[in-house]
Structure 1
């Protein structure tokens, strides 16, 4: 299978991985043949890429960081937890809702187990979802990335659970932001931006009352928009004033947001998002965490269809952990766009004059 941009050229292609809705439920299942009407509707729903079957890439196995079952369960749990919190707020009931902490902790243990069992090396996020489900899928992806970094740092069970639970709920304050602002397609006005920034404080206030959610997990919601140089919000904290959990989640939050399609812009490619993180250096993020992140996240996910500087089209076959920007690729077309009858693999660590320049169909 391979990952390709959504376009009418995919008509008659067969879906290789499902498309999920905002609740983590399957909207379009694997094995479905794509029609023009279906592709148009998926584009309207904000889906920009799809995993499709391709005989030339049948042997490529795309391994998500967590299983499909774990991902769907996690998204559904985050969705229901946030909905429950909204209902609590609207009902003016300030009592603790202990089941939220328990349910989030339970589903996080499934994520953790999958990550520990994943021997594929670099973390690869391989879910496809509609843009209206961004908040819930984003929360799960940030938790996956943050937990992977926590494991790489050698965190123990208590620490890893605190960061994972906090990451799953880091954006819960967004449930209090009006939908017309949260999903606005254009730039925020100054007033809208000030309101949007309040989600960090609101999230902290909501979580610190919850049994089963530690105060450190609640502080992740509070601090995930703080930046190393003090340019973040809500308190303009600097350096060591920011808890390490929040530094990790804040960096993963930025990366995942950049690589996701939003109402107001298209998704950035993984390597473009990583370049932004690296460019932030010590100004925005902790440099040691940036380096750790770069070593553990797949810059070019397996299955991604790419264009080379030679104008040839290829698909990423496998990753080189030591050189993540130079994976093994399979050439599908020549420099004139002609389909190759016999695709072949090239290791970009050995072909130094060749490089990936863009995501391609």
Structure 2
């Protein structure tokens, strides 16, 4: 089977799934996918029947959405952007090298880690590099309090999909991929009290946090096996095209294109990641926030390219259509991911259908998603931020 550029041969992935906010979970529901802690260890396995205590605990560890078993959506396949083995090996190497850096000063560290990351990038590109119609699927649903290692890998995967869509060659993808994987490496030299502070940073703490860009550049610029442009990704990924970013306040063409892509994706992943102190945004909500910065923080053309590569409505998400009907996202088109296939499960009067049917929004152009479990959709181009 092929979906969105991803092929599946494991029948165990054919599970009955619906994506449900933790706030709407009810005792007796069964998990459709595993729940992981911040270290990647399984907290709850699929098939576990939820109890009031378990539901409460999910909220306490910062998980906003989970997949539950659902007979109506038995044919939904949840794709992974890279193979599980590739992902595990990449996270292991990221964690090993990043933690090693925390034990040494910038000038007295173990060098030559560039070779390790080059191998990681080759494995990742082997998985997704040839898939011209790959799309960005939301990662880490069901993961508690995403850490720096998962964030680094997510940003790398998302950015590579954009690089492929932008027509980058293998060498450019390697530069971009390594730059995105290591964009936050300087945070390993930031005080843990600041890095993991759950609330708003003080002005002094924020100034300390901002130094991670220059630290990352210094760590990478002379490292064998790390392209110099990748080092500049660490330096520039918080620069913004209106000059409001840091560390140098560069504008427009002063910022390398790689860093612009990474800055965009970095913001998206931060908004869609679970944190104990905040609930993750859904992809369409994060895209609304990003579009509020069109032409000031981010280039309009890049936002449009990003939108066309992102599955803004995750598989299994319950939605309301402008027809008044309710349904579930069951399939995503790789070329137009913002117009998915919806399985209608309730009519406009709220009555559950005995025979649900699918509506392809890429064909039924007058049908639109207006709500997702109580959250109003704001169309692109009509986003207003106070």
- Secondary structure of the residue aligned to 1:128 is coil
Give the deviation of 1:312 after TM superposition: 4.3
**Structure 1 residue 353: deviation in Å?**
4.8
Alignment of 1:315-326 (within 5 A): 315-321=328-334, 323-326=336-339
Match of 1:198 in 2: 211
Q: Deviations over 1:302-340 (max 9, x none)?
A: 222233455644211122455433321112334565543
RMSD, aligned α-carbons: 2.6
Secondary structure of the residue that 1:281 maps to in structure 2? coil
Q: Structure 1 pair 66/346, CA: closer, same or farther in 2 (3 Å)? A: same
Q: Aligned equivalents of 1:118 and 1:55: distance in 2?
A: 31
- Offset at residue 177 of structure 1 (A): 2.4
Which aligned runs of 4 or more in structure 1 are off by greater than 6 angstroms? none
The match for 1:62 among 78, 86, 109 is 78
Deviates more, 1:221-230 or 1:56-65: 56-65
Cα deviations across residues 135-175 of structure 1 (Å, max 9, x unaligned)?
22111111011111111122122211111111111112222
How many residue pairs get matched? 358
- Residue in structure 2 matching 1:82, options 95, 98, 110: 98
SS at match of 1:356: strand
SS at match of 1:229: coil
Counterpart of 1:136? 149
Identify the structure with the greater helix proportion.
1
For 2:198, the equivalent position in structure 1 comes to: 185
Paired position in structure 1 for 2:248: 235
Encode CA deviations 1:252-277: one digit per residue, 9 max, x unaligned.
11111122233443222211222233
Deviation at 1:134, TM superposition (A): 2.8
1:220 partner SS: helix
Q: Which sits farther off after the overlay, 226-235 or 252-261?
A: 252-261
User: TM-score when scaled to structure 1?
Assistant: 0.89
Q: What TM-score does the superposition give when structure 2 sets the normalisation length?
A: 0.83
For 1:102, the equivalent position in structure 2 comes to 115
SS in 1 for 2:183: coil
2:63/2:279 contact within 8 Å kept: no
Q: Could you tell me which residue of structure 1 aligns to residue 259 of structure 2?
A: 246
Shift of 1:279: 3.1
What per-residue deviation string (whole Å, max 9, x for no partner) do you get for residues 227-272 of structure 1? 1111110000111111111111111111111222334432222112
Matches within 5 A, 1:117-266: 118=131, 121-128=134-141, 130-266=143-279
**How many Å apart are 1:29 and its aligned residue?**
3.3
Residue 209 of structure 1 and its aligned partner are, at CA, apart by: 4.5
Check conservation: 2:241, 2:296, Cα contact below 8 A: yes
Change (3 A) 1:301 1:130: closer
What is the deviation of 1:297?
Answer: 1.4
Q: Of 16, 20, 32, which residue of structure 2 is paired with 1:16? A: 32
Cα 1:323/1:152, change in 2 over 3 Å? closer
Residue 188 of structure 1 deviates from its aligned partner by 2.0
CA distance in 1, matches of 2:37, 2:223: 27
For residues 142 and 170 of structure 2, the distance between their equivalents in structure 1, rounded to whole angstroms, comes to 30
Q: Within 5 A, what are the aligned runs for 1:305-344? A: 305-309=318-322, 312-321=325-334, 323-335=336-348, 338-344=351-357
Gaps of 5+ in 1: none
